[in-house]
Chains A and B, each alone.
Chain A
Amino acid sequence: MLNFILSRSMQSIPVIFVVITITFFLVRFAPGGPFDDEKSVEPEVKAALEAQYRLDQPLFSQYAAYLGDLAQGDLGPSFKYPGRSVNELIATGFPVTAELGLYAILIALCIGGISGVVAALKPNTAQDYVPMSLAMLGICMPTFLLGPLLILVFGIWLEWLPVSGWGDLPGDKILPSFTLGAAYAAYVARLSRGGMLEVMSQDYIRTARAKGLPERVVVLKHGLRGGMIPVVAYLGPAFAGILSGSFVIETIFQIHGLGRFYVQAAFNRDYTMILGCTVFLATLIVVFNLLSDLLAAWMNPRLRSQLGGNQ
């Protein structure tokens, strides 16, 4: 198991390195410098600016210097917000995005997990069809449609909840969190239903029932553990999806989080911000994929004993 953890973790390092390299060169090859359209800037000032951001140096030494800074955890200065570093911008934006993402994941796991298991216990009955139809709706309804519709109904027509901001008014976190979590709740519901259905038809469940265990114990102790493996393995991709989903949610609900900074940076051609955010987000995604893989492997007894046997 330790070998598996180590080798799987080591695999992540080149991934992160490649992400940094590709992003760096793609960003640098994009035409149009960040200071090109500021006509009022004098040539000398522009030269000084470019020197400050190392744009006058050859590409490869820019890359080497960037890697050097990165090794010290420095993501560089922002082009568009003078005097502020990318680290500072991430430090202001990320806690908001992290909180939003956390609520969304919790909503996805609670609503999705419970309805998936409930559906799997009585397949092909109303108890199955109703939650699964809702899940299908959740998958087909894009976030950027669900969000405005919820705003329209609960914010504007019913006036129950605030429609923008984050932490400014009571209840303003409800709509964005729910909107972001809804699609993932749908996927989690389908995955946990599928996982539970498969597990509940296994021999060891029949054995557990034959032992005379109460159904509650069979489901919660024996069924859930195996049935949730697909959900746990899905957590990594879900995490990545929630991060990019936050781009849209934060734009719709006017939340000043990392997702909104990122979209603005793309429009502003704020190279260092794009680069810094990409490196930061990609590293997070790689780490979460790793964690969700490890957790899923640990939960799968067949895989665990196989890995243990290899040592």
Chain B
Amino acid sequence: MSEMLNSTSEAQGSTSSQSGRVDSINEYEKGTSLWSDAWLRLKKNPLALTGLGFLVFIALACLCTPWIAPYGYEEQNLLLGASPPSPQHWLGTDTFGRDLLTRILYGGRVSLMVGLIATSVALLIGVTWGAIAGFVGGKVDAVMMRLVDIIYALPFMIFIVLLMVVFGRNLWLLFFAIGAVEWLTMARIVRGQVQSLKEQEFVEAAISIGLSKWAIIRRHLIPNALGPVIVYTTLTIPSVMLLEAFLSFLGLGIQPPQSSWGLLISYGVESMEEYPWLLIYPGLTLTLTLFALNFLGDGLRDALDVRASKD
């Protein structure tokens, strides 16, 4: 039975978190942080490291696309048409004879950018909102969180559809619209975190020795809430990218001539019977990227020892 208990990762997690907290206080004084500790733990997780490596690779490739892409983005070769992967075109070509690898790289720029910018929007709104609600508490908290509940209940599709119709199908608007949907969970997590931290003994102790409110926020609340925020940010990026792809697939997101992985998949679906590679490679790229982000997020959660509250 005790083996059973010890073998569960949760049990290990809770013991290490207690010791980790004690360590982090000592280390805080010494100037080293729990971050270097977390990095050491992350280095031992091969899946998370592979994910990180893959992401760096994809990000660099997409960043350098204009210089490294083998063909032009709109470069057509109508004589060639759709061709399977070959030495000239590593991932094949589409019906216009355009190089698929080039198009995936250019699409990746948009997909990754949507992921990063929309997540930043969500992060900014969500953390501010949640921290204020959690720290102030009382009526302010009730009103703010009720508002979150209300927005939660709104089917986001209609907002994005309508915003696209009202303001034209604009890339920045898409960032904003997705960010405006995704901040809600972040706000809830930060609020819950701040609220529960406020009740913890070490915060009580800090209050009892007469630390000022600001010092408590700075020394105790922010560093302790940062772990979940980082972890959730890493896990928000894939869900944002999925949302963008979902909208682009329906024809409501990125519009041609711009491209994204979601749009490439939807083109691929149209001709998947004849040219399956047009579906498989963009799909594989998107799935692998999401895999990498999720593995990194899970690795960070273990490394930063964030108690799994969401899943």
Tell me the A residues contacting B by CB distance below 8 Å: 11, 14-16, 18-19, 22-23, 26-27, 29-32, 123-124, 136-137, 139-145, 148-149, 151-152, 156, 187, 190-191, 194, 197-198, 200-201, 206, 209, 230, 240, 243-244, 247-248, 251-252, 262-263, 266-267, 269, 274, 278, 281-282, 285-286, 289
B287 at the interface (CB under 8 A from A): yes
Q: Contact at B149–A144, with CB atoms within 8 Å? A: no
Contact between B9 and A263, CB atoms less than 8 A apart: no
Are A251 and B250 CB-contacts (below 8 A) given A123-B7, A187-B311, A282-B154?
Answer: yes
Min CB gap B173→A, angstroms: 14
Nearest CB in chain B: distance from A298 CB, A:
20
- Asked whether, in the complex, the Cβ of B166 is within 8 Å of the Cβ of A30, the reply is yes
Whether, in the assembled complex, B46 has its beta carbon less than 8 Å from a beta carbon of chain A, the answer is no
Is the CB–CB distance between B269 and A148 below 8 Å? yes
With an 8 A cutoff between CB atoms, is B155 at the interface? yes
* Stretch with Cβ within 8 A of A (4 or more), from B74-82, B157-165, B198-206: B157-165
Q: Which of B184-226 contact A (CB under 8 A)?
A: none
The residue in chain A whose Cβ has the minimal distance to the Cβ of B1 is A209
Name the residue in B153, B252, B280 with the highest tally of chain A Cβ atoms < 10 Å from its Cβ: B153
A197 to B9, CA, bound (A): 8
User: Binary interface profile of B, 150-180, with partner A (CB < 8 Å = 1, else 0)?
Assistant: 1011111111011001100000000000000
**Contacts A/B (CB < 8 Å), 17 sampled:** A15-B153, A16-B153, A19-B153, A23-B154, A26-B162, A137-B287, A139-B290, A140-B287, A142-B246, A144-B265, A152-B276, A156-B273, A194-B308, A201-B5, A206-B1, A274-B161, A285-B155
Q: How far is the CA of A206 from the CA of B2 in the complex (A)?
A: 9
**Docked CA distance A139–B310 (Å):** 14
Closest CB of chain B to A62's CB: distance in Å?
A: 17
The reply on B294 being an interface residue by CB < 8 A is: yes
Closest chain B residue, CB of each to CB of A183: B242
Query: B8 within 8 Å of A by Cβ?
Result: yes
Are B10 and A198 in contact, CB atoms less than 8 angstroms apart? yes
Instruction: Answer whether residue B146 sits at the interface, using C-beta atoms and an 8 A cutoff.
Output: yes
Question: Does chain A have a CB within 8 A of B291?
Answer: yes
Q: Which of A151, A201, A248 is B10 in contact with, Cβ under 8 Å?
A: A201
Q: Is the CB of B286 within 8 A of A145?
A: yes
Task: A181 to B8: give the CA distance in the assembly, Å.
Answer: 29
- Among B8, B245, B280, the one with the most A-chain Cβ atoms within 10 Å of its Cβ is B8
Q: Which of B265-293 contact A (CB under 8 A)?
A: 265-266, 268-269, 272-273, 276, 279-280, 283, 286-287, 290-291
CB <8 Å contact, A200 and B265: no
Q: Which residue of B lies closest to A267 (CB)?
A: B251
- Known pairs A140-B290, A247-B157 / 17 extra A-B pairs, C-beta < 8 Å: A26-B162, A30-B165, A145-B265, A151-B272, A152-B273, A152-B276, A152-B279, A156-B273, A198-B10, A200-B8, A206-B1, A206-B5, A244-B155, A248-B250, A252-B269, A285-B153, A289-B152
Residues of B within 8 A of A156 (CB): 273
CB <8 Å contact, B5 and A148: no
Q: Which residues of A contact B1 (CB under 8 A)?
A: 206, 209
The one of A31, A143, A289 that contacts B153, using a Cβ cutoff of 8 Å: A289
Residue numbers in A under 8 Å from B11 (CB-CB):
201
Given A26-B162, A31-B165, A149-B279; A144-B154 close (CB under 8 Å): no
Q: Is B129 an interface residue (CB 8 A)?
A: no
Q: A142-B246, A187-B311 are in contact. Are A30 and B162 (CB under 8 A)?
A: yes
Q: Which residue of B lies closest to A135 (CB)?
A: B311
Interface string of B140-154 (1 = CB under 8 A from A): 000000100110111
Residue of A nearest to B248 (CB): A144
For B250, the chain A residues whose CB sits under 8 A away are 247-248, 251, 263
Chain B residue numbers with a CB within 8 Å of A152 are 272-273, 276, 279
Which residues of the other chain, A, contact B7 by a CB distance below 8 angstroms? 123-124
Residue of A whose beta carbon sits closest to that of B235: A139
B238 on the interface (CB 8 Å rule)? yes
Ranked nearest first, the 7 interchain pairs of A and B with the lowest CB-CB distance are A140-B290, A145-B283, A190-B311, A144-B249, A148-B269, A266-B161, A140-B291
Contacts of A240 in B (CB 8 A): 155
| Given A26-B162, A263-B250, A278 and B155 contact (CB-CB distance below 8 Å) | yes
Contacts of A244 in B (CB 8 A): 155-157
Q: Nearest residue in A to B168 (C-beta to C-beta)?
A: A31
Minimum distance in angstroms from A162 CB to a CB of chain B: 15
A26 touches B159 (CB 8 A): yes
**Interface pair B165/A136, CB less than 8 Å apart:** no
Q: Are B166 and A29 in contact (CB under 8 A)?
A: yes
**Is A27 touching B311 in the complex (CB atoms < 8 A)?**
no
Which residues of the partner chain B approach A29 to less than 8 Å between Cβ atoms?
166
**Chain B stretch 5-29: residues in CB contact (< 8 A) with chain A:** 5, 7-11
